[in-house]
Every structure is written in structure tokens, then in C-alpha cells.
Structure 1
Amino acid sequence: MSSARRILVVGYPAAEALDIACVVSTLQIANYVRGRHEYRVELAALSGGMIRTATGLTLQADAPLERVKGPLDTLVVSGGIGYMSAMEDQQLVAHVRRLARESRRVASVCTGAGVLAAAGLLDGRRAATHWDHAEFLSTRFPAVRFDPAPIYLVEDSLCTSAGVTAALDLCLSFIESDTGPDVARAVARQLVTYMQRPGNQAQMSVFTATTPRNSVVRQAVEFIETHLGENLTPALVAQRVGVSERHLSRLFTRELTVSAARFIRRRRTSAAAQLLADTDLTQDAVAARVGFRTVETMRQAFQHLYGVSPSHFQATQRSTRHA
């Protein structure tokens, strides 16, 4: 136990239970895989005691935050709907700032980035957070460049992640950095999850996007989903749903924050990613199935959306799914 990496997770009233659980469970499974205590994880809150999370579950803190002393390997601040009160709590923010100085690595999950920002730890930096809170946090902390797109970001010893289960991806990256890819891969298998989703993979993939409220956009999306392999163009989709191409683009931008053309490209890229991870199809076959004219066109789309090539994506995803 004396050689274990000490991880402190900071909770507060109305923190998100999954933000905490993803960190704790992922690192504890790493201990199981390693067969020894690689990580010693503690949960702390002001005054100690019970933490009533945003979901209504109550967690017992291991220690009062004000009594925790370093050194720490990693300090992780949870997110959750209580983050606005947490980042206004001067005592909590002061202890986060103090412990950050005594930590090798400092991280936040989801809206926990707001607490790091309140502590002045993100000034002049780019930070990931939940896509739905990035605009508010950008207004509240103009010295920080909050990015709603990536799953997680690592800048030197400061790490920030997107919403909720993105903590799992962040912790897998910690495990890989600390112990190597084989252990991280084994942990991913135990968790029955993807291994090493690229940190800059978009949070708002079409698999998680909300259903459009506008009926025309819904019809257009349904048509696109069922005709990906065809020669889809915004003009063709607009004709199919009975509006002008210009009006369709306005509707898509308003409802989905992207143009119809970009939505089609993203949808093809996401569909290709799923096929590369879940099947043994060649890249040529995948490109043809989802409507890319060439593998090179698919490669450019992958680089733009995920920041990696189709080959890299296939190698990392299939290493878990097909092992």
C-alpha cells in the first residue's frame, strides 16, 4: 500500500454519482488486473461525512477535505449539477487550489472544470467540459478556453474531461500512462468498454445527439440514416423532404448546430467508425458501404472529426472488441 499511487476524488453536495464512480471503479479494477494496489483512491468532501449526490444516492466520504494533506499522485474534482455552488464555495476552492500544488496530476470530470477554473488553475488554458455547460463556463471564466467538443484534454499535468462517463476514458488514459497499454486494455475488457477512445473524439456524435424537434429535420435525418450508402447531397435531401436546400441548411444549423452537408459527412464518419470497430470489413468496403467515394475521403473525414486515421481507430478499437 505504501507504494500505491494516491488518488483523491473531491465530491460535494449534488455531485454526479457517475462522475465519482467512473474514476473509483476504473482505478480499482486496475488494482484487480495488476494483482496489487497500484492506486489508493480516497473520496473527500468538506467536513467529511455523507455526500448526497445529484441522483439522490448518498456516498460516505473517506476524509474531510480540509484535513487532507499531500503529496498526492492525482487530484480529481467531480462534476454534477452542484458545481455552481461548489465553485462559489471559497473554502472548497481554496483547498482544491492548495492540494493542486501538492499533486503530480490535477484533473476534473465534466463540470468539475468550473471548480478548477474558480481556483485559477485553468487560466490561459484550453479545457474540456460537458458540452451543455461550456458556454456558461466560458462567460463565467473568460480567461479559460472551454471546449465543448473533445472527450478529454491533457495539457502538461492538467487534465479535463467531458461529461459523466468521459471520466472512464480519462482514467484509461491515466492507466496507460502510468502502467502501459496492456494494463489499460485489460481494464477496458473488464469494463466491457472501448479501449482508448481518442481524447479529441467529438462528444456530440450522432449516436448521442438528441432527436430534432423540427419535423422537417427529423424526416431529413431519418432519410440520411437509411440512405448513407447512396449519393446523398443536401439538395437531394431537401427535395426528399419538400423544402429548399437553403432552408434545409438553416433548419439543420438551428436544430443540430451543423449544416446538412456537414451532418451527412459526420454521420458517414460515425457509421464508418462503428463498422471498423465491430466488423472485419476492409476500409474499402466500409467506405463504400457508408457512401464515401474513396478511402482517402474517409481518412480526411476521420482526421477532421476524431483526430486520428481510420487505421489507428480500427487498431485501437478492434484490439478490445476482437481480442
Structure 2
Amino acid sequence: MPKHPRSSPNAIRTIEVLAFPAVQLLDVTGPVQVFVSANDLVANAGGTPPYRLKLVTQGDEGVMSSAGVALTASPLSRHGEPLDTLLVAGGPGVEAAAASPVFVDWVRQRSTRAHRVASVCTGAFLLAAAGLLEGRRAVTHWKDCTRLAQRYPSVRVEPDPIFVRDGPIWTSAGVTAGIDLALALVEEDLGRSVALAVARHLVVFLKRPGGQAQFSATLALQAAEDRFGALHDWINDHLSDDLSLSALAEQAGMSERSFSRHYAEVTGQTPARAVERLRVEAARRLLSESGTPVKRISQRCGFGSEETMRRSFLRLLAVTPQDYRSRFTF
């Protein structure tokens, strides 16, 4: 991509959102609502709405989302038209879109006119197919990071961030991370105060703590319920007890070696790491739903000390227990 000068703070920025058949609905509507809310806030303050939004797709009949909701869209713009931001959505239809010469060529050509290019969720695959992620850092939905890295070895895939910026290219993690990315774009354009006002209006974080790895690991445990659900229930009832490998293997009725191997195969993590995550999850609930002192919570959840719990929170959530409580307690 050629370098383009940063647009004027008072300029009206054209944002084109690319959709395709079976696009993920929230990948489109989440970021769009952020920009629309920014327009409303600026207009209500007597200013000129800063964004001009345009949903585009191939053809002139709109596009059907994977949710079965039809979206009205304009035909793909001509390559030479000026553009501030190109935003590529993701969804189940991205494989077909990334294999379509029409979509790939249009993204490649349209990016040369854009001040910046961004993707939501698996939209990163379309950017990669167009060659825009070559040698760049990028992220996509946690369950697709490995696939993106294998298919495009030159892309430096980072599985944890909510979004990644590498020069003029922005990529975001799964689905709702598109809202986080859009808020970051608004902050870059209009400043922190406007972005924070939009976040408050939408009742979301301007910058949420932690990365998407915390969600993927927890979901992996949930996906293992058929095999280890009873064990997880037992762990949650005995968080302050001995949860060593030998204790877990005995509870599961398996040898330590067999248990370690099967558990890692099913959940993608070691038993010790899973115990830590379950303890953090329990502590999160107590921090947000009760006034129990942090020291007492650390003991009840089996951390043994506040410092041990603090290190686990920082490692898994990138936030201390005290900060978590202040952010999530109403």
C-alpha cells in the first residue's frame, strides 16, 4: 500500500464496508454502529458528522448475511474513488469470497486508494488473499488463527490481541472485536473523549482488559464437558483443596500419564493451566458479585495468597484483581 497523508480532523471520512454472501451480521453492524454513534454525538454537539458510510458488495441486489438477514448494499465502488477506510467483514462466506477473483482484485485495487484498511474476524483471510498482510502482524478469530498462519506463512499471526495495527492495516479478533477496532479508529480520528463517549453510549469498554486467549481457553473447557464435565464440576466445588495432577487423575479414574495426555488432547491445555483458569473464573465472579475482601477470595479460590492470585490475573486477564473489581462492579 502507498502511504497516504493523514486526513484533516474536520474532513468527512468515507468508510466502505465490504460484505459478501453469508457475511457475519455483527461483523458489519457492530463497527457500523460505532461510526453511526460517533456521527450522532458530533451532530448533537453542533458539529458535522465525520463519517460517510457505505456498504458495498458484488452486484446490485444487496447481500444475504449468514443470519438470514438481507442487507441493502451498493455495488463495488470504482477503484479510483477517494476513500478513507476500507473495512472488510468476515463470516462463513469468507472462504468463497477469498477464492473469488472479483472480491480479491477489488480489495487489492481499492486498498491503494484507502488511508487505512481493516478487517473484522475472518475478514483477515480476504486481506491475506489480496496480499495485504504479507510480512505483517495480524489477528483473526481465535479458532482460525492457526489456519490463517498455515495458509499464509508470511503473515505473522498473533492469536491473543483483540486487534492488531501494523502500519495502515488493522485486523481484529472474533466478531465483537470489530467493535473494539472501530472504537480505536474513532479514537485515532476524533480523539479519546469522543471514542469514550461512543463506548459509554453503546455500554462497552473503550479498551477491554485482556486478549481473546482468555475467552478461547474458557470455551475450550466448556467444549470438553462431555468428557471432563464431571471433573470440572468437582474442581469448582474443591477450589481450595489439593488439585495436583495426582489428585485430578485419581478423581478422573485414570493414571497420571493417561489423564495428562487425554486432557490436553481434549482441552488444548494442561490440567494445571485449566485449574488456574477455573480458579480465576471463580475469583472473577466473587470480585464482581460480592464485597468479599481480595485476600479472602484468594484463599477461597485456592490461590493461597493475594500475590499468587494477582500473578494469575495478570497472566490470563492482563489486569489485577483490584482493577478488575473496580471495572466490573456496579
One-letter amino acid of the counterpart of residue 54, structure 1: S
Q: Which moved more, 1:254-263 or 1:161-170?
A: 161-170
User: Do structure 1's residue 53 and structure 2's residue 57 form an aligned pair?
Assistant: no
Cα 1:23/1:91, change in 2 over 3 Å:
same
Q: CA RMSD in A?
A: 2.7
Cα 1:293/1:254, change in 2 over 3 Å:
same
Equivalent position of 1:211 in the other structure: 223
8 Å Cα contact 2:220-2:267 kept in structure 1 = no
8 Å Cα contact 1:152-1:199 kept in structure 2 = no
Query: Alpha-carbon deviation of 1:140?
Result: 2.0
8 Å Cα contact 1:205-1:270 kept in structure 2 = no
User: Do structure 1's residue 24 and structure 2's residue 32 form an aligned pair?
Assistant: yes
Gap runs ≥5 in structure 1: none
8 Å Cα contact 2:263-2:270 kept in structure 1 = yes
One-letter amino acid of the counterpart of residue 97, structure 1: R
One-letter amino acid of the counterpart of residue 96, structure 1: V
Equivalent position of 1:223 in the other structure: 234
* TM-score, normalization by structure 1: 0.85
8 Å Cα contact 1:153-1:161 kept in structure 2 = yes
> What secondary structure does 1:160 align onto?
strand
Give the alignment partner of residue 95 of structure 2, picking from 78, 84, 95: 84
Mapping of residues 235-314 of structure 1, within 5 Å: 235-277=246-288, 282-311=293-322, 313-314=324-325
* TM-score, normalization by structure 2: 0.84
One-letter amino acid of the counterpart of residue 164, structure 1: V
One-letter amino acid of the counterpart of residue 189, structure 2: D
Partners of 1:312 and 1:225 in 2: how far apart?
24
Partners of 1:214 and 1:117 in 2: how far apart?
36
Query: Alpha-carbon deviation of 1:120?
Result: 0.9
8 Å Cα contact 2:107-2:127 kept in structure 1 = yes
User: Do structure 1's residue 143 and structure 2's residue 151 form an aligned pair?
Assistant: no
Aligned length: 316
8 Å Cα contact 1:131-1:149 kept in structure 2 = yes
Partners of 2:174 and 2:111 in 1: how far apart?
21
Query: Alpha-carbon deviation of 1:10?
Result: 0.6
Identity of aligned residues (%): 38
Query: Alpha-carbon deviation of 1:314?
Result: 4.8
8 Å Cα contact 2:87-2:118 kept in structure 1 = yes
Equivalent position of 2:117 in the other structure: 106
> What secondary structure does 2:314 align onto?
helix
User: Do structure 1's residue 134 and structure 2's residue 145 form an aligned pair?
Assistant: yes
Give the alignment partner of residue 183 of structure 2, picking from 172, 180, 183: 172
8 Å Cα contact 2:79-2:109 kept in structure 1 = no
Deviation per CA, 1:162-205, whole angstroms, max 9, x where unpaired? 22122122223333333344433333333333442146342414
Equivalent position of 1:72 in the other structure: 83
Deviation per CA, 1:245-286, whole angstroms, max 9, x where unpaired? 332222221111001101111222344345445555554344
Query: Alpha-carbon deviation of 1:211?
Result: 3.0
Gap runs ≥5 in structure 2: 1-9
> What secondary structure does 1:76 align onto?
strand
Q: Which moved more, 1:122-131 or 1:204-213?
A: 204-213
Q: Which moved more, 1:102-111 or 1:75-84?
A: 102-111
